[in-house]
Amino acid sequence: MSLSVTLEDCLRNKDSRYEVVPHPHSHSSMDTAEAAHIPGDRLAKTVLLEDEFGYVAAVLPSTHHVRLSELWKKTGRRLVLASETEMRELFKDCEVGAVPPVCTAYGLQTYLDESLIRQPDVYFEAGDHEQLIHMSTDQFLDLMAEAQTVQCAHRM
């Protein structure tokens, strides 16, 4: 599989400067960081959450867990983790577990953990388990302009 079509459109529409970083096939964000020889704090992972009102996404470093209680306070919603089946339906141009952080392009409210904006650069899944996108934090923030920056994660 190659870059997600939705991600490619977002990168093109924002005139983003980035590089594609190939890596050996991996199954988790921590495995991806290790396989790509990059710091886990700089690898953004996307976590899909849901409640009776629909889905939202949280984007946080691979070294962190989402803190649901913080998102509950920020959103007023009792969000829980969504299933892999639901991820397949929402992100049809991505492999399960390799969802890029541009979830607003998929129609989802997105929350960006503030710890990512303190990094000098950011890596994230490109839609498959063998490629990452690498860009400066400024470029990443431009790409994620529609996301709401919050504190919603804690280190594992």
CATH code for the domain in which residue 119 is found? 3.90.960.10
Alpha carbon distance 120, 98 (integer Å): 22
Name the pTM for this structure: 0.95
Domain, as residue range, for 139:
5-155
Query: How does pLDDT run across 93-122, given as a tens digit for each residue?
Result: 999 889 999 999 999 999 999 999 999 999
| CB 20, CB 3: distance < 8 Å | yes
Number of domains in the chain: 1
Alpha carbon distance 146, 110 (integer Å): 8
| CB 119, CB 42: distance < 8 Å | yes
DSSP 8-state symbol, 92: T
**Ranges of the chain with pLDDT below 70:** 1
